A and B are shown apart, each in its own frame.
Chain A
Amino acid sequence: MTSPVPSGDLVGLERRKFLKTTAAAGLTMALASPGTIWGQTAKPAGGVAANDTLNLALVGLGAQGRILMEAILAIPGVRIVAICDIWEYARTYGQRFLKKNGFEVRAYENHQDMLAKEKELHAAIVATADFWHAPVTNDCLKAGLHVYCEKMMSNTIAGARSMVETMKQTGKLLQIGHQRRSNPRYIVARDRLLREAKMLGRITAANAQWNRAVSDDLGWPAKTAMTKEQLNRYGFDNMHEYRNWRWFKKYGGGPLSDLGAHQIDIFNWFFDAEPTTVIGNGGKDYYSTHEWLDNAMVIYEYRLPEGVARAFYQVQTTTSAGGGYYEQFMGVHGTLKMSENPKYTSLFREAAAPSWDQWIKRNFIAAPKAAPKADDDNAGGSAVVDARETAALASYVLPIVLNKKIHQPHLENFFNAMRGKGKLNCPADEAFKSEMVVFKAIEAVEQKKLVTFTPQDFAV
């Protein structure tokens, strides 16, 4: 779950020595590369041939790391050869899990040790706490590895920016884990439904939400707890903060970053634009053991070629999970409600909109379920439909299916790009724009003010 490299003066000398070595190695490799490949085509600059089995290191074996590990096991042509986590309990879990699946892996507490000893690695998968993303990713890139790093890129703008810079300097691939960008359901929704078919017409608004039920903080088996000295060595104050780092400002960005980043990225990606302003509200109203706000609502303004569109986002962690999680785009001809969970996904067509029959024939969408009758809303006989209420719409179905684990397509895209087959779907420079939008939303909520974006915000 967390990371691997000691911080502070104690290890500064070792770190500088390591960086010198790896920087030299990275420079050599970059010079030997046929060209810059970040975010672009994938020439196998890292010495990866199209049919090579890719050797991977998995850095961070917390909840997200384990999900990625399971997804990787379903992908042919790759193998995890090393794992790294500061917590022995997590390392043991990883080694045992992988052994059960036929892989003997070497385990490391410190990613610098791992990079120094593992000479056959092609790539690193980074799923540490956010504040370790930038140091670990930059070190891995400089050591000549391609990197798949979970979002958020960092808990600071400077950290995220440094990752883009290192990606460009080393010429290595850096994919950020906004996995919806490789999900065929989202790709078809964006490229076919919205762009090719223009089923929604002009999009004037969007909204997204992630409501998560109240939950207890994570605990740990008492006998597995790390010592204070060990935790401090890796930047953590205590075991509670280590296990619940997402809620503390020193380590992560809170719910807007943790849950919201995925969905706010969809605003940018579907609109193919960055917002001009964001205003927000929210607060730490419920949990006494957290630092970060537990609820937030923000409104972005996008100036699109066809006009202004506003996007509302809310993340609630103190409600019931009612309504689930989705991203919804509303146009003059219809509404698309997207979610990673198909049961929350649907399309609604306005009665006066152009026919969607041709898109049913193309299998972009499936025939609608019948629109609810007006009587259905009046089951009790007392409710009266407001004269201004638009009639209920038929709900169409998005028939595209994902037959894989939810992160698998994004990992496959990364591995394919390493082999020279296609481009990254979410290179770091592209992800940086989305993450800047999240950072500014947090700023807007914390300061309860309107924040304006400038072109410089998105430049690296």
Chain B
Amino acid sequence: MSEPTNNSTDWSSSLAFLTLRAWLGVRSLVTGIEKFSGTRTVQQPLLDAAGNPDSSGAVVEVQQKFYSLSAYQAIPESMRDKFSQEPFMPAFLTTPFYAVLGWVLIVLGITVLLGVCTRVSLFAMGLLYVGLTVGLILIKQDAGIAWLAIHVVMIAYALTLEKHNRFAITRS
């Protein structure tokens, strides 16, 4: 059994980092895009088994997902209401945070995915998740805190692997 060469170890580490980078990038990018999604109710004819309009002339309401700048919602309304009652979360802080959250997630997702200023981007992503954790701690959402903690651990691990960064647009 032969020892792995340094070169092959480097490639394994690079592929591990690439996988981690891809996951964190996609996670952030899609989460950001989803904040611009909404659901609308549309009406359409009820169809029979053959795909023709039902003989009753019935109209059915179905939910359709759509994406739009106007549909932007940083966090669910119910959570927003809870945050608004927290003394440590004044409006002058939360309002701008809500306004940029979706965009920041998208930008960080893209930069991590493409490898643009990877180290800085990962660190910024980590800080963002820490910020989100603060809010969840205040409203006692323990499951959400644990969920974010997993992300933060992954980012920390990614930062330790960052020296194996390849296939990146810019060097860290």
Contacts and interface: CB of A to CB of B under 8 A. Distances in A.
A399 B43 CA distance: 9
Contact of B57 (A184, A362, A363): A184
B62 interface: yes
A192 interface: yes
A375 interface: no
A188 B59 contact: no
Interface residues on A, range: 10 to 19
Interface string A184-228: 110110011000000000000000000000000000000000000
Interface centre among B49, B56, B59 (most CB of A within 10 A): B56
Given A188-B54, A192-B54, A400 B43 contact: no
A288 interface: no
A200 B5 CA distance: 68
A362 B56 contact: no
Nearest to B56: A187
A26 B40 CA distance: 54
A210 B89 CA distance: 50
B61 interface: yes
A191 B46 CA distance: 13
B43 A363 contact: no
B43 A401 contact: yes
A363 B60 contact: yes
A403 interface: yes
Contacts of A363: 46-47, 60, 62
Interface string B50-76: 000010111111110000000000000
Contact of A399 (B49, B54, B60): B60
Nearest to A397: B61
A399 B47 CA distance: 13
A185 B43 contact: no
Given A188-B46, A363-B46, A363-B47, A399 B61 contact: yes
Nearest to A400: B58
Contact of A184 (B47, B56, B62, B63): B56
Nearest to A403: B59
A401 B43 CA distance: 8
Contacts, number: 40
A185 B101 CA distance: 43
Contacts of A401: 43, 59-61
A362 B46 CA distance: 8
Q: Is the interface of A mostly helix, strand, loop or mixed?
A: mixed
Nearest to A364: B46
A188 B45 CA distance: 12
B115 to A, nearest CB: 40
Contacts of A402: 59
A191 B56 contact: yes
A403 B43 contact: yes
B58 A362 contact: no
Interface centre among B47, B57, B60, B63 (most CB of A within 10 A): B60
Interface in A112-158: none
A338 to B, nearest CB: 14
A186 to B, nearest CB: 9
Interface string A161-190: 000000000000000000000001101100
Nearest to A412: B57
A363 B48 CA distance: 10
A191 B49 CA distance: 13
A184 B58 contact: yes
Contacts of B54: 188, 192
Nearest to A365: B60
A413 to B, nearest CB: 10
Contacts of B63: 366
Interface string A394-437: 00000111110000000000000000000000000000000000
A191 B161 CA distance: 63
Interface string B34-49: 0000000001001101
B63 to A, nearest CB: 8
A370 to B, nearest CB: 16
B102 to A, nearest CB: 27
B162 to A, nearest CB: 43
B59 A400 contact: yes
Contacts of A366: 61-63
B58 A185 contact: yes
Interface in B110-129: none
A16 B62 CA distance: 58
Interface string A265-278: 00000000000000
A218 to B, nearest CB: 36
Contacts of B49: 362
Nearest to B59: A401
Contact of B56 (A188, A399, A403): A188
B58 A188 contact: yes
Contacts of B46: 184, 188, 192, 363-364, 400
A187 B47 contact: no
A6 B61 CA distance: 49
9 contacts: A184-B46, A184-B57, A184-B59, A362-B49, A363-B60, A399-B60, A399-B61, A400-B58, A403-B59
The list of the 10 closest CB pairs from A to B, nearest first, reads: A184-B58, A187-B56, A363-B60, A184-B56, A399-B60, A188-B58, A399-B61, A400-B58, A401-B61, A401-B59
Interface of A: 184-185, 187-188, 191-192, 362-364, 366, 399-403
Given A188-B56, A363-B60, 5 more contacts: A184-B58, A185-B58, A188-B58, A400-B46, A402-B59
